Amino acid sequence: MKKFDFTFDEQVCRVTIGEGALRTAGKVISRCQRGGAALVVSDSNVAPLYAEVVVESLREAGLEVRLAVVPAGESSKSREQLTVLYDELAEMRLGRDGFLVAVGGGVVSDLTGFAAATWLRGVDFVICPTSLEAAVDASIGGKTGVNHPAGKNLIGAFHQPTDVVMDPACLHTLTPRDIRAGLAESLKHALIADAAFVSWHETHREALLACQPRTMGELVARNVAIKAGVVAQDVRERSGVRARLNFGHTIGHAIEASCGYGLRHGECVALGMLAGARISRALGLLREDECIRVEALLQSFELPTRCEGLSSYGTLASYIAGDKKVAGSRVRWVLLSGIGATVIRDNVEDQIVRQAVESLR
């Protein structure tokens, strides 16, 4: 079992990664020793697979435990499901000594984290990520929230989990496509921060695509370390350091919002990263061979490098302009200044962006 402690604004988050970790949740989550109550939250896909194990382990540790199951899917990151959780917490009379445990993907962890951030002005919460997206990204950083009909993640809070408990064997029940989409986020972390980790992906390609638990465990641990390292420098997203994590996401989100129906978030991010690499190349920040390496990397993980139904540039540009990474009236582009290094530019000419986006067609 791998264990790491990260500190964000003086709050410690303990990460435990290992096969069988969920079965030992009641032992590894340190606050379980104090007793009390816990609300475990999962979704309709994940609950039958992994939530019972966690519930059992917490009960064995002497806690009073309830399980709340929300419908699987992004639509559960809603005020309605939040109300369902508050009602459950009220019925349990969950006090300050109680806590919440998310067992699932990023939808469940964002929703559960926000319920925890707001119940009694903030109680503890724990994340047991079961999707690759949640394991490598959503479980670290303390961003919690729900969607509003006017937009994604409009209602939220920063609230750090006290523990992240991850069993890489859980990833087996994901579809190969979900694995590849999650790997896109891992490639993003490697490309922005760690050239050696890019090579590691290249070397371990087969084990990663086959979701081999030991390799996945190492993958998650390295991602957690990279993301935690960035977040710790800018916990509340004020200094701009955390913006580096948005590499590939400005164009990725535009594709996702305008023509991404049927595309996974990670697949849109792959397209966004390729466009980002090409913008970096056009500005002379990245060499041609490095740009080609990014493309080959995405292809080797069977991620898209072209999008047939891409919207017109005008439509995509309007989404890009509306992106939350826009400072004032300028888009802040997270670009690559090499493999494993980023630079932020807010003066990229529209023509260069247009060419990079059109190259995805």
Ligand X SMILES: NC(=O)c1ccc[n+]([C@@H]2O[C@H](COP(=O)([O-])OP(=O)(O)OC[C@H]3O[C@@H](n4cnc5c(N)ncnc54)[C@H](O)[C@@H]3O)[C@@H](O)[C@H]2O)c1
Pairing outcome for strands 11-17 and 37-43 = unpaired
Find out whether 180 and 303 touch, Cβ atoms under 8 Å.
Answer: yes
d(CA 110, CA 93): 22
Of 18, 98, 106, 272, the residue at the interface with ligand X (CB under 6 A) is 106
Shortest gap between Cβ of 110 and ligand X (angstroms)? 5
Q: Which stretch binds ligand X (CB under 6 A): 1-9, 133-141, 214-222, 344-352?
A: 133-141
Give the whole-angstrom CA distance, residue 241 versus residue 243: 5
Q: Is 159 an active-site residue?
A: no
Considering only residues 31-90, where is the footprint of ligand X by CB under 6 A? Answer: 43, 45-46, 49, 72-74, 77
The SS3 call for residue 137 is helix
Q: Write down the least CB distance from residue 128 to ligand X, Å.
A: 10
Minimum distance from residue 111 beta carbon to ligand X (Å): 9
Categorise residue 104: left if φ over 0, alpha if ψ from -120 to 50, beta otherwise. Answer: left
- Per the listing, tokens 């390295």 go with 222
Which residues, including other chains, have CB under 8 Å from residue 121's CB and lie 6 or more apart? none
CA 314 and chain centroid, separation:
29
The residue from 41, 78, 112, 137 that contacts ligand X (CB under 6 A) is 137
Sole window of 29-37, 138-146, 305-313, 324-332 interacting with ligand X (rule: CB under 6 A): 138-146
Q: Considering Cα of 111, then 115, then 121, then 122, what sign does the dihedral take?
A: negative
In sequence order, the β-bridge partners of residue 11 are 8
Tokens of 15: 């990460």
Edge-first strand order for the sheet with 64-70 is 2-8, 11-17, 163-166, 124-129, 99-104, 37-43, 64-70
How does DSSP classify residue 130?
-
**Does 272 contact ligand X by CB under 6 A?**
no
**Cβ of residue 95: shortest distance to ligand X, in angstroms?**
26
Residue (79 or 361) nearer to ligand X, CB: 79
Residues 85, 107, 22: CA angle, nearest 5 degrees? 85
Q: Of 26 and 141, which has the nearer Cβ to ligand X?
A: 141
Does the active-site annotation cover 185? yes
Q: Is 167 in the site for ligand X (CB under 6 A)?
A: no
Residue of closest CB approach to ligand X: 106
Where does this chain touch ligand X (CB under 6 A) — which range of 19-27, 137-145, 295-303, 346-354?
A: 137-145
Binding residue for ligand X, selected from 141, 168, 252, 260, defined by CB under 6 A = 141
Of 240, 360, 344, 241, nearest in space to 283 by CA: 344
Residue 77 known to be catalytic: no
Give the nearer residue to ligand X in terms of CB position, either 7 or 359. Answer: 7
Cα distance between residue 148 and residue 150, in whole Å = 5
Q: Does 173 bind ligand X (CB under 6 A)?
A: yes
List the catalytic residue out of 265, 278, 281, 290. Answer: 265
Q: Contact with ligand X (CB under 6 A): which of 124, 133, 167, 194?
A: 133
Q: Is 148 a catalytic residue?
A: no
* Interacting residue with ligand X among 26, 105, 252, 276 (CB under 6 A): 105
Number of helical (H) and strand (E) elements in the chain, helices listed first: 14, 13
User: Does 246 participate in catalysis according to the annotation?
Assistant: yes
DSSP 3-state assignment of 308?
coil
Closest separation in Å from C-beta 286 to ligand X? 25
Largest CA distance in the chain: 62
- Residue 256 binding ligand X, by CB under 6 A: no
Q: Please report whether residue 110 would count as binding ligand X according to CB under 6 A.
A: yes
Give catalytic residues, as residue numbers.
121, 143, 185, 227, 237, 242, 246, 249, 253, 265
List interacting residues with ligand X (CB under 6 A): 43, 45-46, 49, 72-74, 77, 104-108, 110, 130-131, 133-134, 137-138, 141, 143, 153, 170-171, 173-174
